[in-house]
Amino acid sequence: MIAAALLREWATTWGSIYSNHSALRTVVAFAHVGGLVAAGGASFVADREILSVFRRRARDGSSGLRTVHNAHGVILAGLSVVIVSGVLLFAADLDAYLTSRLFWIKMALVVALMINGAILTRAEYRASNNLDDSWETLKWTAIASLCLWFMTTLIGTALPNIG
């Protein structure tokens, strides 16, 4: 209970600071959108490459696998920025987000996106190391990734407008 009270107090203080400083609101919002653009953009490139290699039935998908592997760092960095800025946005209006169905739908989509990313990363590793033919898994996780990024962005965009 003490931890919850301390978190609530921190959120109240942060919410006051956040609401009274337009430059801070701009920086936090930009970090959230910028991280989304970086992570989502890198993911889109990797997902499209997977689908392209799969569609061509390329015998050697190593260049596609390199594209996917090289995207991981950008995606993880972008998601880290999105998560930190998201926690700050959440804390700035704690009561509104705690009761928002859209917020919790968005969080479920983010969790699904992360689980899908972990499955995709494992399949990429297995395919890159010739441990098995993971291209079918890569195809379906790429399709899921594209859908999840768009759905998460849609819900995130609706959140401040609908609540």
Name residues whose C-beta falls within 8 Å of residue 76's C-beta, 6 or more positions apart in sequence: 39
Inter-residue long-range contacts of 150-156, CB under 8 Å, 24+ positions, other chains counted: 151/109, 152/106, 152/109, 152/110, 152/113, 153/36, 153/40, 155/102, 155/105, 155/106, 155/109, 156/36, 156/106
d(CA 137, CA 163): 35
The pLDDT tens digits along the chain (163 residues) read 888 889 899 999 999 999 999 999 999 999 999 999 999 999 999 999 999 988 887 667 788 889 999 999 999 999 999 999 999 999 999 999 999 999 999 999 999 999 999 999 999 999 888 887 788 999 999 999 999 999 999 999 999 888 6
Which of 146, 130, 123, 114 shows the shortest CA–CA distance to 59? 130
Which of 63, 30, 49, 32 shows the shortest CA–CA distance to 146? 49
